[in-house]
Amino acid sequence: MKIKIIAILLAAVVLAGACTRGSGTAAPYTIEVGGSTSVSPLMELFAESYQNAKPNIKVNINGTGSGDGINNAGVLYQIGMSSRELTPAEQGKGLREIIVAIDGIAVIVNSNNPVSNLSVDQIRDIYTGVITDWSQVGGRAGRIAVISREEGSGTRGAFEEIVRFQGRLLAGANESTSTGAIKAGIVQNPNAIGYISLGSVDATIKAISVDGVAPATANVVGGAYKIARPFIVLTGNNLHAESSAFVDWMLGSDGQAIVSRSWISVR
């Protein structure tokens, strides 16, 4: 009798295990993502929504800069992030490039700065040291504190290319390593100027118009606001199925609805 009871219990355990396996419960999986600090805020929104829909998935995001995202996509990260186009040498790495959003780059100043508009030429002259005082562009007298991103930053690469001063950044400019550091520098210094992703603009700083055009999503979409660039995710050739599904989700209706909150959808 005891043997029969044990056999029945074992059968019940096996059946329960089979039912669990057949119930569609997916195994836990972690997706490692790294790269551009400009893309990171969007990626964090992607991750939050995706993890809510798929509790078995965890998305780790490392804001380390576009260069790192490009160099380590398919190595340290299943998915890399870049806020600039790849160079010809980087394209030779065999990475898959997927544009998930379009972003404007906002030129920002301290909230108390009376200057609310600059031309592209004036911005270039400020960043190359031709214009050094706010009084030269209609502001209060005060030496302009130029803040840029560090070498290798996707935002810096795109900004210098669009404004046309590659390799000519003012000597002594403050080179910050993240969007947050630039915003903090602007808040602390009434004479500072910087640039960040349009999606990262908030009430702590002031985004100015460029050539009379406000840095607004509608103006980027319409082409009137010219300082804009793509947000790119990068993958290697052997992408795990769960990571591939996450990328597909970013490009689908749910992901692009998130993009549309502060950036420009690609669908």
In angstroms, rounded to a whole number, what is the distance separating the alpha carbons of residues 243 and 237? Answer: 12
pLDDT in tens, 56-88: 999 999 999 999 999 999 999 999 999 988 989
Q: What is the mean pLDDT of residues 19-48?
A: 83
Expressed in percent and rounded to 5, the helix, strand and coil fractions of the chain are 40, 25, 35
| pLDDT the model gives residue 25 | 60
Cβ partners under 8 Å of residue 171, min gap 6: 129
Q: What is the mean pLDDT of residues 226-238?
A: 93
- The DSSP secondary structure of 171-204, one letter per residue, reads TT-EEESSHHHHHHHHHH-TTEEEEEEGGG--TT
pLDDT in tens, 4-26: 443 443 444 334 444 434 445 67
Cβ partners under 8 Å of residue 42, min gap 6: 100, 101, 199, 231, 258, 259, 262, 263
3 state DSSP class of 253: helix
| pLDDT the model gives residue 21 | 42
In angstroms, rounded to a whole number, what is the distance separating the alpha carbons of residues 152 and 67? Answer: 6
pLDDT in tens, 159-195: 998 999 999 999 999 999 999 999 999 999 999 999 9
- The DSSP secondary structure of 107-133, one letter per residue, reads EEE-TT----EE-HHHHHHHHHTS--B
Q: What is the mean pLDDT of residues 24-48?
A: 91
- Residue 80 carries which DSSP code? E
- The DSSP secondary structure of 15-37, one letter per residue, reads HHHHHHHTTTPPPPEEEEEEE-T
CB distance 255 to 43 below 8 Å: no
Smallest CA-to-CA distance from 173 within 131, 133, 129 is with 129
In angstroms, rounded to a whole number, what is the distance separating the alpha carbons of residues 185 and 209? Answer: 20
pLDDT averaged over the chain? 90
pTM exceeding the 0.75 threshold for the entire prediction: no
Q: Other CB atoms closer than 10 Å to residue 246's CB: what's the count?
A: 25
Cβ partners under 8 Å of residue 58, min gap 6: 28, 29, 30, 31, 51
* Cα 185 off chain centre by: 20
Nearest-5° Cα angle at 266, 263 to 267: 120
Q: Residue 104 belongs to what H/E stretch? A: strand 96-109
Burial 103-126, CB ≥16 within 10 A → b, else e: bbbbbbbbeebebeebeeebbbbb
Smallest CA-to-CA distance from 90 within 41, 150, 161, 154 is with 154
Q: What is the mean pLDDT of residues 212-232?
A: 92
* Cα 59 off chain centre by: 15
